[in-house]
Structure 1
């Protein structure tokens, strides 16, 4: 595999992990798309 392909895969995995943590985990990034009221 090329280095660019490996970096792309790692980047997508990282984005997926951040998205999963933001939606399902206790730690999430504050933003307009964050359903704070729905989680309470």
Structure 2
């Protein structure tokens, strides 16, 4: 005959397993990061994402 602690352990493992399976229900989305499409970029020229240098104080001064 099994000890009450052994039975409790089995019940806890089963309950946690069921909760883990139920917690995964409804999860959506890719299970991996998709590769970027080769050759087709966003249409911006190279270097377009480089920020421009800050403007001087005379350009931003208010009259």
The structure whose RCO (Cα within 8 Å, separation 6+) is larger is 1
Which structure 1 segments of 5+ residues have no match?
Answer: 27-34
Give the alignment's TM-score, normalised by structure 2.
Answer: 0.40
Indicate the RMSD between aligned Cα atoms, in angstroms: 1.7
Give the alignment's TM-score, normalised by structure 1.
Answer: 0.60
Name segments (4+ residues, structure 1) moved above 2 Å. none
Task: Answer 1 or 2: which has greater helix percent.
Answer: 1
Larger-Rg structure: 2
Which structure 2 segments of 5+ residues have no match?
Answer: 30-63
